[in-house]
Amino acid sequence: MTFDGGDVTIETSGFKGGACLKETLDLEKALGVTVKDRKTTEFYEKPLEVNRGQRR
């Protein structure tokens, strides 16, 4: 995340599918600003399959 006065830019990597958007929107809400986000190529990849049977 880069801060420039009231502007915030977020660069993400390692997230699959829309997971990075969820994290970005959460931060945007907390910061009270519109984040200038920059998606990575991973945005267009499928999210990892989650074995829900392991959830408690």
Partner 1 sequence: MSHVAEVGLTITDLDALEAAASRIGLELRRGQRTHAWWGSFLNDWSDNTRAAALKGRDPKTFGHCDHAIGVAGATPRNGSGGNWEIGLVARKDGQGFDAIYDSYGNAGGLTAKAGADLRTLKEEYGIEVAMRRLKHKRFNVKREVNAAGRPVLVATRRGN
Binding site for partner 1 (CB under 8 A): 1-6, 8, 14, 23, 26-27, 30-33
Least Å distance between CB 44 and partner 1? 21
Which residues contact residue 15 at a Cβ distance below 8 angstroms, ignoring those fewer than 6 apart?
23, 40, 42, 43
Pick 32 or 53: Cβ nearer partner 1: 32
State in angstroms the smallest separation of the CB of 15 from partner 1.
10
Pairing status of strand 2-4 against strand 36-38 = unpaired
Identity at 50, one-letter amino acid code: V
- Supply the DSSP symbol for 7: E
- Taking the complex as a whole, the smallest distance from the CB of residue 39 to partner 1 amounts, in Å, to 16
